[in-house]
């Protein structure tokens, strides 16, 4: 059986300096192979302790049972503040709870049906763009990013990606994504809050430009809302939702923070998953053909048709297992803990890694293999419940998870309905972690028109 590419193995022990360099450039390469079988592992630095948690019962405790006792680590948040500011992705406590009370209503179940036409239009546009690529090899991550950005702008601001401002944000974000490591120096060293953080000049410049463009969109939408001319999309819904506790809405600055994370979460993560899904379909042509046949049901803009894309949903879920867009989540314990007979000091870093959990050898049958049928087996159902967290879990589960599970299968099916993807010549892509799990040198596929 063909196996998806795995990150290169690393020795179980490396020096702190080498580990720090690897950790900054690529989280996946820094992790030793033994972590795919460990329930818990401790990492020691001169300044703090980190614990990788793979045991489902402990993951449940941290994410679901006691989330207030394990808030998000500010060490990780530091690296994202130039772009995300005080967004819901990085805040904790009362501020985070207020933000979720305002944001969550926009992503309730009924909104999926309302947003589907925008997703459908983006999928049609993505298929049309690929027409010019027939018979050639292309870098598919770029096309996936374009399609996912189109979805988020259409659903959020009712703007297609070819709109001038939408395209500017998209192009600038590509620069930011490659320049920004997932962690900065503050994640590894004890730095007081008053000390300025060090970021690359191009990272700060890209983040500032993205925020200026988003601020212009937000200000324009506020004026439309005041004039009662605003479209009924996600931006309008969020900007007009009143917090039932405080009676407040988001200020313009707060909305810029939230839009930044919506773009990051709704575009970057979706693009990562779609690109890897297309690569897996190129590796497994028999599955590709099955999805293409199923996709013939997609003959019109009708949300009800998504119920017929069962195979596409299984494939997309398997892609999220093998290549979770967000490879690691970091929490910090507020109190001393006793975990697996270890004393865990207050303010330790609790690392929950979908990348390791989804490939854990003691949990999954054939953990490194591509098998979309696993979700209908007893093992797959059990692991889906206890060891599958591509969107996190508990109180901090991604509010757009339902959107992602419609968007991903829709784009995948719409593309495969018309085109066949074939692996390009050369070495296979190697997954690395930037802001999300991407290929070190891109994913190259050959595009051919599908014949009936």
Domain that holds residue 225: 16-449
Look at residue 11 and tell me if it is in a domain. no
Look at residue 305 and tell me if it is in a domain. yes
Look at residue 3 and tell me if it is in a domain. no
Sign of the alpha-carbon dihedral angle for 399, 402, 405, 411: negative
Q: Give the chain's domain count.
A: 1
Count of other CB atoms within 10 angstroms of residue 397: 13
Look at residue 408 and tell me if it is in a domain. yes
pLDDT, position 110: 76
pLDDT, position 13: 58
Tokens of 51: 């614990």
CATH number at residue 158: 1.10.630.10
Distance between CA atoms of 144 and 150, rounded to whole angstroms?
10
Extract the residue ranges of the chain whose pLDDT is less than 70. 1-27, 29-31, 76-79, 177-202, 452
This prediction has a pTM of 0.91
Query: 276-286, pLDDT tens digit by residue?
Result: 999 999 999 99
157 contacts 217 by C-beta, under 8 angstroms: yes
Distance between CA atoms of 226 and 219, rounded to whole angstroms?
11
Distance between CA atoms of 417 and 447, rounded to whole angstroms?
12
Q: Which residues contact residue 390 at a Cβ distance below 8 angstroms, ignoring those fewer than 6 apart?
A: 320, 321, 324, 325, 326, 354, 358
Look at residue 6 and tell me if it is in a domain. no
332 contacts 72 by C-beta, under 8 angstroms: yes
Look at residue 214 and tell me if it is in a domain. yes
451, 376, 402: which is closest to 107 by C-alpha? 402
pLDDT, position 343: 94
pLDDT, position 167: 82
Look at residue 334 and tell me if it is in a domain. yes
Look at residue 7 and tell me if it is in a domain. no
Query: 86-117, pLDDT tens digit by residue?
Result: 899 889 999 999 999 999 999 887 788 999 99
pLDDT, position 394: 96
Encode the chain in three state secondary structure.
CCCCCCCCCCCCCCCHHHHHHHHHHCHHHHCCHHHHCCCEEEEECCCCEEEEECCHHHHHHHHHHCHHHCCECHHHHHHHHHHHCCCCCCCCHHHHHHHHHHHHHHHCHHHHHHHHHHHHHHHHHHHHHHHHHCCEEEEHHHHHHHHHHHHHHHHHHCCCCCCHHHHHHHHHHHHHHHHCCCCCHHHCCCCCCCCCCCCCHHHHHHHHHHHHHHHHHHHHHHHHHHCCCCCCCHHHHHHHCCCCCCCCCCCHHHHHHHHHHHHHHHHHHHHHHHHHHHHHHHHCHHHHHHHHHHHHHCCCCCHHHHHHCHHHHHHHHHHHHHCCCCCCEEEECCCCEEECCEEECCCCEEEECHHHHCCCCCCCCCCCCCCHHHHHCHHHHHHHHHCCCECECHHHCCCCHHHHHHHHHHHHHHHHHHEEEEECCCCCCCEEECCCEEECCCCEEEEEECCC
């Amino acid at each position: 059986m063909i196996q998806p590419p795995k990150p290169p193995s690393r020795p179980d022990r490396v020096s702190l300096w080498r580990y720090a360099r690897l950790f900054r450039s690529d989280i996946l390469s820094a992790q030793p192979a033994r972590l795919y079988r460990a329930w818990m592992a401790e990492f020691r630095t001169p300044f703090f302790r980190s614990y990788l948690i793979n045991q489902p019962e402990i993951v449940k405790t941290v994410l679901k049972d006691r989330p207030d006792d394990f808030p998000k680590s500010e060490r990780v948040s530091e690296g994202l503040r130039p772009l995300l500011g005080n967004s819901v992705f990085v805040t904790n406590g009362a501020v985070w709870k207020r933000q979720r009370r305002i944001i969550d209503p926009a992503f309730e179940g009924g909104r999926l049906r309302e947003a589907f036409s925008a997703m459908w239009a983006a999928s049609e546009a993505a298929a049309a763009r690929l027409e010019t690529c027939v018979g050639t090899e292309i870098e598919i991550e770029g096309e996936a990013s374009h399609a996912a950005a189109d979805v988020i702008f259409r659903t959020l601001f009712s703007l297609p990606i070819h709109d001038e401002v939408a395209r500017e944000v998209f192009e600038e974000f590509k620069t930011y994504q490659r320049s920004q490591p997932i962690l900065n120096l503050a994640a590894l060293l004890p730095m007081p809050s008053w000390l300025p953080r060090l970021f690359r000049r191009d990272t700060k410049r890209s983040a500032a430009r993205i925020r200026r463009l988003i601020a212009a969109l937000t200000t324009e939408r506020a004026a439309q809302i005041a004039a009662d001319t605003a479209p009924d999309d996600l931006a309008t819904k969020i900007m007009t939702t009143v917090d039932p506790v405080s009676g407040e809405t988001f200020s313009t600055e707060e909305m810029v923070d939230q839009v930044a994370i919506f773009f990051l979460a709704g575009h970057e993560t979706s693009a990562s998953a779609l690109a890897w899904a297309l690569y897996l379909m190129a590796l497994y042509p028999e599955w590709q053909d099955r999805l293409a046949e199923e996709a013939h049901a997609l003959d019109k803009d009708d949300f009800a048709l998504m119920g017929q894309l069962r195979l596409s949903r299984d494939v997309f879920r398997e892609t999220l297992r093998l290549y979770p867009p967000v490879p690691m989540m970091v929490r910090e314990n507020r109190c001393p803990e006793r975990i697996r007979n270890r004393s865990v000091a207050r303010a330790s870093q609790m690392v929950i890694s979908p990348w390791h959990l989804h490939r854990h050898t003691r949990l999954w049958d054939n953990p490194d293999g591509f098998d979309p049928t696993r979700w209908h087996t007893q093992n797959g159902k059990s692991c889906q419940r206890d060891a599958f967290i591509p969107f996190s879990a508990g109180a901090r589960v991604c509010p757009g998870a339902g959107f992602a599970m419609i968007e991903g299968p829709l784009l995948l099916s719409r593309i495969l309905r018309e085109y066949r993807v074939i692996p390009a010549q050369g070495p296979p892509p190697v997954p690395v972690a930037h802001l999300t799990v991407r290929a070190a040198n891109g994913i190259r596929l050959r595009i051919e028109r599908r014949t009936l």
